[in-house]
Amino acid sequence: MSRIGKKPVELPKGVTAEIKGQTIEVKGPKGTRSFTATDDVDLVLEDGAVAVKPRGTSKRARQQWGMTRSMIENLTVGVSTGFRKELEIQGVGYRASMQGNVLKLALGYSHDVNFEVPEGVTITAPKQTEIVVEGIDQQLVGQVAANIREWRRPEPYKGKGIRYKGEYVFRKEGKKK
């Protein structure tokens, strides 16, 4: 039995769900998201909660049971509160700023890096050394944050680069004479 799959997904206030076959559409104050489940599970809407039940006892049905429940919970969290990733920039002369729909990053290269903000995500730079990525799609928010971080990953000797807020960077000792 899946411990995660057994729990129904409670719909917060202001969020509605509609099930059509294997597709669930969740509407909330931040937007609308949908997810299509595999044929190994059944989706049931009962008194303000969405329940996921496996259609059999096969290994695949049990795997899809917990995963589908997690996906539906991510939809409800996304349309009600949204997802957020915070990045910090460390390094002399490293900074970020928003200009329209483009994130401009000065990361020690001979040129500024222009990062085009994809649709469905909002990026803000409250300080020159902070970047905040927000949106209703957890996968898209995480991927955009990872793409920004990829421009200058934190290096282990001085710790310079773009890191997630609160990320620990293992530091190495430099060469000795």
∠ at Cα 85 (115, 6), nearest 5°? 130
Q: Tell me the CATH class for 3-80.
A: alpha beta
Rounded Cα gap, residues 25 and 171, in angstroms: 46
**Do 3-80 and 83-164 come out as alike in CATH topology?**
yes
Pull the structure tokens for residue 116.
């085009």
* Parallel, antiparallel or unpaired: strands 130-135 and 31-36: unpaired
Residue 158 main-chain phi, psi, to 5 deg:
-110, -15
Rounded Cα gap, residues 144 and 160, in angstroms: 20
Pull the structure tokens for residue 101.
């729909």
- pLDDT at position 48 is 87
Q: Where are the domains of the chain?
A: 3-80, 83-164
- pLDDT at position 1 is 67
> 28 Cβ partners below 8 Å, 6+ apart?
12, 14, 15, 16, 76, 78, 79, 80
pLDDT in tens, the chain (177 residues): 678 888 999 999 999 999 999 999 999 999 999 999 999 999 999 888 999 999 988 999 989 999 999 999 999 999 999 999 999 999 999 999 999 999 999 999 999 999 999 999 999 999 999 999 999 999 999 999 999 999 999 999 998 999 999 999 999 998 888
Cα Rg, the chain, nearest whole Å? 21
Domain 83-164: CATH superfamily is Ribosomal protein L6 (3.90.930.12)
Q: What is the pLDDT of residues 116-146, one digit of tens each?
A: 999 999 999 999 999 999 999 999 999 999 9
- HSE of 75, CA atoms in CB hemisphere, 13 A: 25
**By three-state DSSP, how is residue 3 classified?**
helix
User: What does pTM read for this prediction?
Assistant: 0.88
